[in-house]
Amino acid sequence: MNIMTEAGVEQKLSSATNAPLIKMKGEKVSVHYGEKRALFDVDLDVREHQVTALIGPSGCGKSTFLRCLNRMNDTIDIARVSGKITLDGEDVYDPKIDVVELRARVGMVFQKPNPFPKSIYENVAYGPRIHGLARSKAELDGIVESSLKKAGLFNEVKDRLLESGTGLSGGQQQRLCIARAIAVSPEVILMDEPCSALDPIATARVEELIDELRQNYTIVIVTHSMQQAARVSQRTAMFHLGYLVEEGATDKMFTNPDDKRTQDYITGRFG
Amino acid sequence: MTDAISSLGAVGRPVSIHTDDAAKARLKGRYRTETWFKWLGAAAVALAGLFLVLLLSTIVTQAIPALRQNYVTLPIDLSAAKVDPAKLDEVNYDAIAQEALTAKFPDVTSRQDKRLLRGLISTGTGVFLRKDIAADPGMLGGTVDYAVPLDDFADLYLKGLLADVGSDEAISTSVTPSQTSGDIDLTFGDDAMQALARGHGATEGENGMLTLTSGASSLLVAFNGGTVKLTALSPAANGTVIAKGTVIEALDSTAPAASGQAFLRVIETPEASRKISDKMIVWLDTLNSAGLIESRFNSIFFFTGASREPELAGVWGAVVGSFLTMIVTLAIAFPIGVSAAIYLEEFAPRNRLTTMIEVNINNLAAVPSIVFGLLGLAVFLNFFGMPRSAPVVGGMVLALMTLPIIIIASRASLRAVPPSIREAALGIGASKVQTVFHHVLPLAMPGIMTGTILGMAHALGETAPLLMIGMVAFIVDIPGGFTDPATILPVQIFMWADFPEAGFQQKTSAAILILLVFLVIMNAIAVILRRRFERRW
């Protein structure tokens, strides 16, 4: 397994040892799209200040699970979620939970960069503005600047904050979307294949960024790239045909998986 | 192909399957189909273009005469004897103008002829004169040269639309009149005139007598400062021809006109089949050759309301009526239509009820417009007792008609906003309403506006539903508000097309042209909006 020889992974192992708190917890999560069942009784924990990678072949339910965590599945009419998902012990599907508040706490970055067709500034400022996080223009400016800095984009765009966000390159757009997500100070950031539309250089930058963001946020990332999962995550969950096959520390998953399917998948024998 | 294995493809076909003759024939057939289709398409477009050009050129050529109106300048006596400055409203201005005209033709004495002569100027003359005097009292106290609009027949004649008139030709023989006025005999030096009369539909009688009835072309002979209309010709001694004629304009003397001194004018259209008599033609030609007639931009047509007199009829009333109606339509249909579209597209659950509503909205767009008119008549007028012929009711009826169009267009453009934008907004915790109003709606707006403008253009050209609610009434006053009786452009066109007077033909075309101009402007705005605000993501 040549993946394990990479220095980055070794380094991360140490930080994963002192068992962190569980930030989000999924218990017997099942999802139906109409008649079709997409997810079967998934139990999965997301630990605080760690990157949890969800891997598995296409159509295995990893994105579906991710979208349950901030209730983005609510936007699909035919989707039905059962089981229990908690954020800091609170059931996110509890009718008392405000979905708007939940999504402010659990932000999301999508597969395809989707900046608003507005200025770079407006893209980042929109979230804080609707949530009333800034009391003055100066404060808002500060949030925008720090978010862009955290996303590693500020130096590239500081002179053209009022230009359209859609005019940036793909990698910059994705980092803008990350900046937009962190501008509302979420606790958890969900990333649905954030690098699949990016070239290797842009991917490397986003991966670096994810590693930095881990200090302040809890991250769940869906990825198709084994290497990416190995590089950025501390824990990995393997999905197959709607079932959670196996979940554990990334180093163990990639060196000594319990399940043969995991072994086959990460070595490229199916998927 | 010596090696059997290498010349066979994977499933046992020869590898030349894409290069042999059969393949070439197939390829050729494919290209042939493509060429055919291309030519058919081009032909269809060319045909459509041809019809468009034909339609436009017909309307434009018909409409152009209506853009100008002929005026005759008359010295009008506005001295205190005629017009009492203290009683301006009691003066018969028409009579004053008519006097000025008859003074130009002292020979016209019979009552019948005088009436004909007075008919040359518009019956609206007095109104214009009164208005101009009110605006400029300085005109009073003396004789002023004032341009009076001509009556529609006179105007049409001068535009060459009523009669086919040949040019003046010198008569190459002598002409001798027996008297200077009344019914007279004319002696022509040779018989060339007889051949000419035959050529213009004269009736043969006994002894070579030729009669020019009202069913034949009119032959007018102008000489000695007057004009004689020939009624009959008979051969006389020495190859001369004696013609009977009626003097339309008195001659100066009975002196014979030498060869080349008399002129023949042929009005090809027989008097019986035109709306203007020979006398009027001669008077108009006299006024024209005196330089008193002037063709001006037809401000009456553009800036006045309707009238039964073609030369006084204008489109302004209908334009204002259309404008008021469109405001009501827009004010009702746009907010309701867009709100309905947003609700159905973004908020409504997908169930049987909303599906049914959807289907019905789509069906409503295909309902004949007159049905909406009936609905307006039954509900707005009869049930709610709203005013008849009013733009407010017309606007409401058209709004009902435009609603489905706006809803369908708005839904389509809302659906065209990529879902990634909605996800992005929802993903950072925007509520549904915030997502729609901050992100989706602004992106959909150009499409919504385009749909709305096209819907409005559709409504602007609508006639049938407004007939039902009484907007077909003949309304002279320009509407001043939403509840004033009014008519609209297409209905005005419909009414004018129905009027028998020849002058309305050109007005109809000109009004169609104005309507088309409005429609083109609206469509151009739609195109510009689409271009200007089109976004790529």
B-chain residues near A181 (CB < 8 A)? 427-428
Phi, psi of B415 (to 5 degrees): -70, -25
| One domain, residues B434 and B328 | yes
Residue A126 located in a structural domain: no
**Are residues B220 and B328 both part of a single domain?**
no
**Residue A14, domain member (yes or no):** yes
Beta-carbon separation of A181 and B428 below 8 A? yes
Does residue B330 sit in the same domain as residue B244? no
Q: Measured between alpha carbons, how far is B321 from A9 in angstroms, rounded to an integer?
A: 78
Is B531 in the A-facing interface, judged by CB distances under 8 Å? no
Residues B320, B252, single domain; the answer is no
- The answer as to whether B216 is a domain residue is yes
- Contacts with B445 from chain A: Cβ below 8 Å: none
The predicted structure's pLDDT at residue B535: 60
Report ipTM for this prediction. 0.85
Q: At what angle do helices B419-427 and A170-183 cross, to 10 degrees?
A: 40
Residues B328, B263 share a domain: no
Q: Which two tokens stand for residue B274?
A: 């035109």
CATH of the domain at B393: 1.10.3720.10
pLDDT of residue B475: 85
- The total of other beta-carbon atoms located within 10 Å of residue B45's CB is 10
Within 10 angstroms of residue B417's Cβ, the number of other Cβ atoms is 22
Mark yes or no for CB contact B537/A117 under 8 Å: yes
Q: Does B114 touch chain A (CB under 8 A)?
A: no
Residue of B nearest to A72 (CA): B427
Q: Which of B361, B360, B335, B352 is nearest to B452 (CA)?
A: B335
User: In chain A, what percentage of residues exceed pLDDT 90?
Assistant: 49
Pairing of strands B263-267, B169-170: antiparallel
Three-state DSSP state, B343: helix
What H or E segment, with its residue span, contains residue B153?
helix B152-158
Which residue segment(s) compose the domain that A17 sits in?
2-114+187-266
The predicted structure's pLDDT at residue B9 = 56
Closest residue to A114, CB basis, from B423, B430, B443: B423
- Shared domain check, B340 and B240: no
Tens-digit pLDDT string for chain B (537 aa): 444 445 555 566 666 788 888 889 999 999 999 999 999 999 999 999 999 999 999 999 999 999 999 999 999 988 888 888 888 888 889 999 999 999 988 888 889 999 999 999 999 898 899 889 889 888 888 889 999 999 999 999 999 888 888 888 888 888 889 988 888 998 888 888 888 888 888 888 888 888 988 888 899 998 888 899 999 988 888 888 899 999 988 888 888 888 888 899 899 888 888 888 899 999 999 999 889 999 999 999 999 888 888 899 999 999 999 999 999 999 999 999 999 999 999 999 888 999 999 999 999 999 999 999 999 999 999 999 999 899 999 999 999 999 999 999 999 999 999 999 999 999 998 999 999 999 999 999 999 999 999 999 999 999 999 999 988 888 888 999 999 999 999 999 999 999 988 889 899 999 999 999 999 999 998 888 888 877 654
Q: Which residues fall within 8 angstroms of residue A31, CB to CB, at 6 or more apart?
A: A37, A38, A39, A61, A64, A65, A68, A73, A79, A80, A81, A82
A143-162 pLDDT per residue, tens: 999 999 988 899 999 999 99
Helices (H), B259-298: 278-289
Give pTM, 2 decimals.
Answer: 0.82
CA distance, residue B410 to nearest chain A CA (Å): 20
* A22-33 vs A188-192, strand pairing mode: unpaired
Written as one letter, the residue type at B81 is A
Token pair 């020939």 in the structure block, residue: B230
For B349, the closest chain A residue by CA position comes to A77
* Helical (H) or strand (E) element with A189: strand A188-192
Residue B109 burial (10 A CB sphere; 0-12, 13-18, 19+): exposed
Examine residue B105 and state whether it is found in any structural domain, yes or no: no
DSSP one-letter string for B324-336:
HHHHHHHHHHHHH
Q: What is the total residue count of chain A?
A: 271
Q: How far apart are CA A248 and CA A45, in angstroms?
A: 10
Position A138 in a domain: no
Give the pLDDT of residue B198. Answer: 87
Instruction: Identify the band that residue A11 occupies on the pLDDT scale cut at 50, 70 and 90.
Output: very low
What is the CB neighbour count within 10 angstroms for residue A76?
A: 13
Q: Which residue of B has its CA nearest to A181?
A: B428
Judge: B420–A72 Cβ closer than 8 Å, yes or no. Answer: no
Contact A147/A182 with Cβ under 8 angstroms?
A: yes
- Give the CA distances from residue B248 to residues B180, B215, B251, B252, in Å, rounded to whole numbers and listed in that order: 10, 19, 9, 13
Whether residues B316 and B245 share a domain: the answer is no
Q: For B65, list phi and psi in degrees, rounded to 5.
A: -60, -30
Nearest to A131 among B429, B443, B536 (CB): B429
- The verdict on residue B49 lying in a domain is no
Burial class (CB in 10 A: 0-12, 13-18, 19+), B320: buried
DSSP at B381: I
Token pair belonging to B65: 């005469």
Residue A226 lies in a domain: yes
Domain assignment present for residue A175? The answer is no
Q: Is residue B399 part of a domain?
A: yes
The pLDDT, as a whole number, for residue B526 is 87
Domain shared by B405 and B267, yes or no? no
- Is there a domain that residue A123 lies in? no
- Joined tokens for residue A48: 């605080």
Measured CB to CB, residues of chain A less than 8 Å from chain B are 70, 72, 75, 77, 100-104, 107-110, 112, 114-117, 126-127, 130-131, 166, 177, 180-181, 183-184
Asked if residue B371 belongs to a domain, the reply is: yes
Residues B183, B95 contacting (CB under 8 angstroms)? no
The rounded distance, in Å, linking the Cα atoms of B426 and B429 is: 5
Distance separating alpha carbons of residues B300 and B317, to the nearest angstrom: 12
The range of the structural domain enclosing residue B180 comes to 169-274
How many interface pairs between A and B have CB atoms less than 8 angstroms apart? 70
Same domain, B354 and B209: no
Same domain, B357 and B493: yes
Report the alpha-carbon angle B340-B344-B350, nearest 5.
155
Q: Identify whether residues B242 and B371 lie together within a single domain.
A: no
Query: What band does A16 get if pLDDT is binned at 50, 70 and 90?
Result: very low
Chain A contact set for B436 (CB, 8 A): none
In the prediction, which pLDDT does A134 show? 87
Nearest CB to B434: which of A72, A75, A130?
A: A130
In angstroms, the CA A14 to CA A50 distance is 12
- Which residues of B are less than 8 Å from A166 in CB distance? 536-537
Residue B280 token pair: 């009027």
**Distance in angstroms (rounded) separating the CA atoms of residues B93 and B132:** 11
* Assigned domain for A44 exists: yes
The angle at the Cα of B310, spanning B305 to B313, to the nearest 5 degrees, equals 10
- Tell the burial category of B98 from Cβ atoms under 10 Å away from its Cβ (0-12, 13-18, 19+): buried
Q: How many domains does chain B have?
A: 2
d(CA A47, CA A99): 22
The residue type of A193 is E
CATH number at residue A213: 3.40.50.300
HSE value, Cβ hemisphere, 13 Å, CA-based, for B424 = 26
Decide which of B220, B248, B274 is a domain's last residue: B274
Q: Are B182 and B110 in contact (CB under 8 A)?
A: no
Q: Is a pLDDT exceeding 90 seen at residue A96?
A: no
Instruction: Specify the pairing of strand B226-235 against strand B210-211.
Output: antiparallel
For residue range A197-224, list pLDDT tens digits in order.
888 888 898 899 899 899 999 999 999 8
Cα A162 from Cα A225, distance rounded (Å) = 35
CA angle B342, B346, B351 (to 5 degrees): 110
Residue A244: count of CB within 10 angstroms of its CB:
23
Backbone Cα Rg of chain B: 36
Q: Are residues B529 and B407 in the same domain?
A: yes
Evaluate whether residue B118 is within a structural domain.
Answer: no
* Domain count along chain A: 1
Residue A229 lies in a domain: yes
Residues B394, B469 contacting (CB under 8 angstroms): yes
Q: Give B-chain residues touching A112 at CB under 8 angstroms.
A: 420
